[in-house]
């Protein structure tokens, strides 16, 4: 006889509702933001 794992189902439902992002999930977005910020900080070369 198999038992139903209700606690597992409730954990999975709760995990789907979670909006928190772990650091490794933000990698690409964070890298893009850093590159965009660096591009804005680089002053344009003055023409002679």
SS3 string, the chain, reads CCCCCHHHHHHHHHHHHCCCCCHHHCHHHHHHHHHHHHHHHCCCCCCC
- For residue 24 the two structure tokens come to 């490794």
Q: Is the pLDDT reported for residue 27 higher than 70?
A: yes
**Residue 2: its pLDDT value, please?**
65
Please give the residue that has the higher pLDDT: either 45 or 30: 30
The whole-model pTM stands at 0.36
Residue with tokens 């900080």: 41
Considering the chain, what is the average pLDDT of its residues? 79
Residue 25 — very low, low, confident or very high, per pLDDT cuts 50/70/90? confident
Q: Is the pLDDT reported for residue 48 higher than 70?
A: no
């Amino acid at each position: 006889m198999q038992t139903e794992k209700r606690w597992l189902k409730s954990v999975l439902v709760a995990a789907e509702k979670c909006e928190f992002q772990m650091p490794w999930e933000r990698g690409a977005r964070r890298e893009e933001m850093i590159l965009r910020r660096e591009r804005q900080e680089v002053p344009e070369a003055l023409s002679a």
